[in-house]
C-alpha cells in the first residue's frame, strides 16, 4: 500500500489507512484502571488503616480517584473487593480454628492482630493475621459511598476461599486460583494498567508486582493510594521501580489526556 505511485511519497489516504489498520493498533495503548479495595473497613471500619503504623487516611484516595474517572478515558475500569467468608484464615479471632505449625514464632494463644504466624498445613503456610474485615455482604466490605462507580466497570472479588488469603487481585497468595482479572485484561487487549487504592503496601503492592511480572506497563498512582506500614510502603516502591514500573501522581496522568 505504501508509495503506490513509486514517487517516494505516500498520499494522505494511504497514510490514514496505514495509521488506522496497523500503526495505531500496534502503538496505541489500551488502558485499564484498577481501583483496589476502597472499602469501608479499611477507611473507617475494623481494619482502619489510619490506626496502623503509617497513620494514613484511606478516605484521601477517593478524591483523586474520582477526578481520574471523570477526566481520563480509560478503556476499562475495574474495582476489586476484599471479600472474605466469616471463617477466613486471616482473621485473628479465627486463629484457634486451625492448627499452627511447630515452627510457629508465636504460640496460638499469644497471637495478636498484625502478627505473622505459620499454619500447620500441610504444607505449612505463613499468614499475617488481621482484625476481622471485609466480611461478605457486610457494610465493612462495601465500596465507600463517595467512590464514583463507572457504568460498565467490572468488580473483582478476592479472598473468598476461607483457607487462603489473597492480596493480589490476580491470584490468591498460594497461586491456587486466579480471579477473572487476567482473562478480562487479555480479552480487551490491555497494554497499560493504572493501579491505586488500599492498602499500598499490601493488596496494591501485590497486584502491581503481578502486573509487572505478566508484562503490563504498570503505573502506580501514588496520591490515590494509602498504606499500612511506612517501611513496607518503601519496599513496595523499590519493587515497582526495580521491575520497571512507574510511580506517578494523578495530576501527571490527567496531564496526558
Max Cα separation, the chain?
84
- Only one of the segments 115-123, 195-203, 218-226, 249-257 lies at the binding site for ligand VGL (rule: CB under 6 A); that segment is 195-203
CB under 5 to 8 A by kind: which of ligand VGL, Zn ion, none does 200 bind? none
Euclidean distance between the first and the last CA atom of the chain, given in angstroms as a whole number: 32
In the list 43, 147, 169, 202, the residue contacting ligand VGL (rule: CB under 6 A) is: 202
Count of residues in contact with ligand VGL, rule CB under 6 A: 7
Q: Is 158 a catalytic residue?
A: yes
Judged by CB under 6 A, the stretch of 25-33, 92-100, 196-204, 236-244 that binds ligand VGL is 196-204
Long-range own/partner contacts, residues 124-127 (CB < 8 A, 24 or more apart): 125/164, 125/174, 127/89, 127/90, 127/165
Question: Are the C-beta atoms of residues 2 and 22 closer than 8 Å to each other?
Answer: no
Is 223 among the residues known to form the active site?
A: no
User: What is the C-alpha R_g of the chain?
Assistant: 21
Q: Which one of 111, 185, 203, 212 is in contact with ligand VGL (CB under 6 A)? A: 203
Residue 37 contacts which entry, ligand VGL, Zn ion, none (Cβ below 5-8 A, type-dependent):
ligand VGL
φ and ψ at residue 69, rounded to 5 degrees: -65, -35
Among 38, 65, 196, 199, binds ligand VGL (CB under 6 A): 199
Residues with a known catalytic role = 37, 158, 203
Amino acid at each position: 500500500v505504501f508509495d503506490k505511485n513509486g514517487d517516494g511519497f505516500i498520499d494522505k489516504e494511504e497514510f490514514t489507512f496505514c495509521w488506522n489498520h496497523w500503526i495505531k493498533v500496534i502503538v496505541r495503548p489500551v488502558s485499564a484502571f484498577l481501583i483496589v479495595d476502597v472499602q469501608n473497613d479499611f477507611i473507617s471500619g475494623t481494619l482502619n488503616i489510619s490506626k496502623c503504623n503509617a497513620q494514613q487516611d484511606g478516605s484521601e484516595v477517593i478524591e483523586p480517584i474520582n477526578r481520574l474517572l471523570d477526566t481520563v478515558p480509560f478503556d476499562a475500569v475495574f474495582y476489586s473487593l476484599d471479600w472474605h467468608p466469616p471463617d477466613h484464615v486471616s482473621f485473628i479471632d479465627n486463629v484457634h480454628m486451625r492448627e499452627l505449625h511447630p515452627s510457629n514464632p508465636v504460640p496460638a494463644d499469644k497471637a495478636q492482630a498484625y502478627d505473622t504466624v505459620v499454619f500447620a498445613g500441610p504444607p505449612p503456610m505463613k499468614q499475617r493475621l488481621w482484625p476481622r474485615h471485609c466480611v461478605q455482604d457486610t457494610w465493612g466490605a462495601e465500596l465507600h459511598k463517595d467512590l464514583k462507580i463507572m457504568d460498565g466497570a467490572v468488580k473483582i472479588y478476592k479472598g473468598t476461599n476461607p483457607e487462603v488469603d489473597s492480596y493480589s487481585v490476580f491470584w490468591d497468595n498460594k497461586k491456587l486460583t486466579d480471579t477473572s482479572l487476567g482473562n478480562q485484561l487479555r480479552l480487551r487487549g490491555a497494554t497499560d494498567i493504572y493501579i491505586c487504592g488500599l492498602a499500598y503496601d499490601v493488596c496494591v503492592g501485590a497486584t502491581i508486582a503481578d502486573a509487572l511480572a505478566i508484562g503490563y506497563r504498570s503505573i502506580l498512582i501514588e496520591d490515590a493510594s494509602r498504606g499500612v506500614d511506612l517501611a513496607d510502603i518503601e519496599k513496595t516502591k523499590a519493587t515497582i521501580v526495580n521491575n520497571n514500573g512507574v510511580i506517578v501522581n494523578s495530576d501527571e496522568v490527567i496531564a496526558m489526556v
